[in-house]
Amino acid sequence: MAPLTGGGRPVTTWAAAAERLPGSLHDLTVRNVVRTTVGGTGLRVRLTNAFGDREVTFGHVYLGVGRAGAALVPGSSRRLTFGGRAEVRLAPGATVLSDPLPGPVPARQRLAVSLYLRGDSGVLTGRNRATAPAYGQQAAFSPVYRSTPGDHAADEDGGAYTEEAAVWHWLDALIVVAPEPVSAVAVLGDSLTTGVGSETGHGWTDLLAWGTELTPGPGPWADNGLTAAGWLAIGSGIAVVNEGVSGGKVLAAGTGRAAEDRLTAEVLTKPGIDVVILAAGVNDLGAGARAEDLIAAYRRIVTAAHAAGVRVIGATITPFTGAVFHSPDVERARQEVNAFIREADAFDGLIDFDAALRDPADPARLLPRHDSGDHLHPSIAGHQAMAGAVDLDSLRPNHPPTP
């Protein structure tokens, strides 16, 4: 993407995959709490009704600086407009981008996007298993707050928001104009990408983006041989955006689109994405997919990304012997897929999560300290090891895709 006047470019500073959510809502306000990665100016909010079965109407949309719970920093609430209008309607399957807000937005800023839903929601679009890291805290705060009936989008005290949940509603991306050479890395993954297994709620993508804040001091950092600076992608001018879907597959749809479809429909439509980390496939193998079919899909994903000028880093599939859907045949397929990721030169780089998490005494299993208990999802130590396996230099947009 060409630089804008003044040396900046649009960059996605936060994003989430779209999923079909259970239930429905009526005449209330939802407050989505997120955090920017990189900072910039002219923040814009993108909303999606990807799985909606009817048009949804948002009477007002406000953005404010989060303080605690659903409360905002006093005086920070600002109304967003869409084509100059306060009300915005989203047809089924549509996305919409707000007008830019004037002024700067800091990196690592906790923000709240409040949407007043006028009428019925129909089928909900959002992101399941959402987490939102709090600044300087070990625990994640609740990503969404739902209000009592009515329009509370502009409220700053948070008193009307009586229900909280680990989801986001309709929020697709936050975009800023960031100074060069800032860029974004999208992680196209599954439940390991969303952070399942980490008792803190922080997965390896969160640790990659905010690691020194989420896990300060000695301990697992030192165990992984990492310096504080080595964990913080944001300090390197890289926004890490989480496009994981729990239970997601490469070849088939679930609550969200198949990863192959999400790449073109969601990831590549977001500004400033220079690199995609492909960290998906375990659910396909567990469901009986053949290694050759998964490999063929990987090749198609790389081809589509390269056509858009985006590099793809391949991540090996982690061990899961002992998990409910593991079998000797599945293990053979995992080894075949991992051999392709390591050796075929199809990707523009490699992250060897398998090597980072496996038990040297039994390489088809997770190292016990890396196992959350289900033999599939990493523990917090496992997520830390995954973040530590990422070479930040490989994520910089400093060379073109492999031909």
Q: What is the pLDDT of residues 343-355, one digit of tens each?
A: 989 999 999 999 9
Place of tokens 């989203």: 90
Task: Establish if 1 belongs to a structural domain.
Answer: no
Q: Which amino acid is at 155?
A: D
Query: Is residue 96 located within the same domain as residue 194?
Result: no
Query: Is residue 190 located within the same domain as residue 336?
Result: yes
Query: Is residue 126 located within the same domain as residue 236?
Result: no
Query: Is residue 132 located within the same domain as residue 105?
Result: yes
pLDDT at 54 over 70: yes
Neighbours of 314 (CB within 10 A): 25
Q: In this structure, what CATH number is given to the domain that contains residue 12?
A: 2.60.120
* Three-class DSSP labels, 57-76: EEEEEEEEEECCCCCECCCC
Task: Establish if 320 belongs to a structural domain.
Answer: yes
CB-hemisphere CA count at 13 Å for 372? Answer: 21
Q: Number of folded domains in the chain?
A: 2
Query: Is residue 341 located within the same domain as residue 248?
Result: yes
State how far the Cα of 60 lies from the Cα of 25, in Å rounded to an integer.
Answer: 16
Query: Is residue 283 located within the same domain as residue 311?
Result: yes
Mean pLDDT of the chain: 87
Least confident of 76-85, 152-161, 224-233, 351-360: 224-233
Give which of 188, 186, 191, 220 is closest to 203, Cα–Cα. Answer: 191
DSSP assignment letter at 377: S
User: Could you please report the per-residue DSSP string of 123-172?
Assistant: SEEEESS--EEPTT-SSEEPSEEEESSS--TT-SS-TTEEEEES-EESEE
Query: Is residue 309 located within the same domain as residue 387?
Result: yes
What per-residue confidence (pLDDT) applies to 44? 98
pLDDT at 157 over 70: yes
Task: Establish if 401 belongs to a structural domain.
Answer: no
What per-residue confidence (pLDDT) applies to 217? 37
State how far the Cα of 46 lies from the Cα of 90, in Å rounded to an integer.
Answer: 11
- Percent of the chain scored above 90 by pLDDT? 74
pLDDT digits (tens, 9 = 90+) for 236-283: 678 899 999 999 999 999 999 999 999 999 999 999 999 999 999 999
State how far the Cα of 288 lies from the Cα of 327, in Å rounded to an integer.
Answer: 10
pLDDT at 9 over 70: yes
What per-residue confidence (pLDDT) applies to 138? 40
State the Cα torsion 358-363-364-370 to the nearest 10°.
Answer: -20
- Percent of the chain scored above 70 by pLDDT? 86
User: 57, 117 in Cβ contact below 8 A?
Assistant: yes
Domain that holds residue 141: 8-176
What per-residue confidence (pLDDT) applies to 235? 57
CB-hemisphere CA count at 13 Å for 275? Answer: 27
What per-residue confidence (pLDDT) applies to 221? 30
Task: Establish if 400 belongs to a structural domain.
Answer: no
pLDDT at 402 over 60: no
The C-alpha R_g of the chain, in whole angstroms, comes to 20
Q: In this structure, what CATH number is given to the domain that contains residue 345?
A: 3.40.50.1110
Q: In the listed set 141, 176, 211, which residue is the last one of a domain according to the structure?
A: 176
